[in-house]
Amino acid sequence: MYGIQSRKDLAFEYHPQIQILRPSIHARRANITVKFQDLYGFTVEGNVDDVNVLNEVREKVREQGRVWWALEASKGANWYLQTQATSTLKTSLKLSALVNGITLKKLIRKGIPPVLRPKVWFSLSGAAKKKSTVPESYYQDLTMAVEDRVTPATKQIDHDLPRTFPGHPWLDTPEGHAALRRVLVAYSFRDSDVGYCQGLNYVAALLLLVMKTEEDAFWMLSVLLENVLVSDCYTNNLSGCHVEQRVFKDLLTKKCPRLAAHLDSLEFDVSLVCTEWFLCLFSKSVPSETTLRVWDVLFYEGAKVLFHVALAIFKMNEEELLIAHHIGDVISIIQRSTHHLFDPDELLTVAFDKVGFMTTTTISKQRKKQEPAVMAELDQRSRRLNSVNPDEKR
């Protein structure tokens, strides 16, 4: 199913019909755990109820695909690019663009069909525009130029490759490792401030599976780190990630006050579960088909989506979490829930309809509010480490 056409071109076969999963009669009667492969090649474990949910979701994916194809037939192949009005357009055209934008937002929240996902992501995220600003051979030239270079980043990448989605039928092969390595090493030289941070291996791996070519995956990673996510999220001290954790904690207190108070009483730190969510963008915690539905919205609406989804996970488990008595119980409840999040529609409905409205401006203000405390804390931590290991500075 997965393989390489050429050194830079990955060939993934999408089934024309999204498969219906059919557990055996024995499995249905006993309600035992069954294993099955999702659309992107990952082996997933769940019970028969999970399989039924996933089958319902896949039927909705087929229905959504018919909607997108109908729009392409009536409005043109790139109709979704007509949603941005410029100041030179007439009022009627602005209104048309606004209507298209609202329609597109709703459609994206319902999911982009897997076969259309690569081109829609590439266009709407800004990756195509970013790529257009450099010579056409940029990625090829970059990978060739750094092919034999050895840096702390390349060493860490080599260490992480075998640990990135082990067991996947393509990613966990020499070809898959080589493709992922080229993308990660290339970006580590493109942005030396980021270099490489653990977590990016999972993000880049999933981008490779979706985008079909290394080059497109590279540009999606670039736009994600440079335009979509908060700056400094993947730098050495992870300052941006620490800021996101503090912002999330404040949002949890505002959106779920009873739950936040209970977690505080247990001395539960949200970073115990949220760090992985924000660094890996849910790719390591949530089934891939659900993760990619989150990414559909992330690439169109921006980083605020991560807060919506993280809050939704806590809100969906609120009643069970309120009777938890230990930190370990909280972690178990959250992890069990995320591993079985096979219904992206339920997750996104809670994320946007029940969590409530949040603007990018509001979240940006919260970030600025938290930044001084985070930087002071990181500076203090650095001073402590230097005092314990003074020889490391030499």
Predicted local confidence at residue 3, as pLDDT: 43
Question: How many other CB atoms are there within 10 angstroms of residue 238's CB atom?
Answer: 21
Residue 292 near residue 117, CB atoms below 8 Å: yes
112's CB contacts (< 8 A; 6+ apart) are: 64, 68, 120, 121, 296
Q: Of 218, 200, 106, which is closest to residue 160 (Cα–Cα)?
A: 200
Predicted local confidence at residue 19, as pLDDT: 63
Predicted local confidence at residue 99, as pLDDT: 55
pLDDT at 93 over 50: no
Residue range 233-287, pLDDT digits in tens: 898 888 889 999 999 999 999 999 999 999 999 999 999 999 999 999 999 999 9
Predicted local confidence at residue 6, as pLDDT: 38
C-alpha span between 38 and 204 (Å, rounded): 18
Average pLDDT over every residue of 291-296: 98
Predicted local confidence at residue 353, as pLDDT: 95
Question: How many other CB atoms are there within 10 angstroms of residue 219's CB atom?
Answer: 27
Average pLDDT over every residue of 27-40: 72
- Provide the pLDDT confidence category of residue 388 given band limits of 50, 70 and 90: low
In the chain, % of residues over pLDDT 90: 66
Average pLDDT over every residue of 347-357: 95
Residue range 113-161, pLDDT digits in tens: 999 999 999 999 999 999 999 999 999 999 999 999 999 999 999 999 9
Average pLDDT over every residue of 184-192: 96
Least confident stretch, 6-15, 212-221, 243-252: 6-15
98, two tokens: 């606004």
Mean pLDDT of the chain: 87
Residue range 161-183, pLDDT digits in tens: 999 999 999 999 999 999 999 99
In the chain, % of residues over pLDDT 70: 86
Q: What is the DSSP letter of 393?
A: G
Predicted local confidence at residue 31, as pLDDT: 60
More confident residue, 297 or 89: 297
Average pLDDT over every residue of 192-209: 95
3-state secondary structure of 34: strand
**Residues 226, 229, 232: CA angle, nearest 5 degrees:** 75
pLDDT at 95 over 70: no
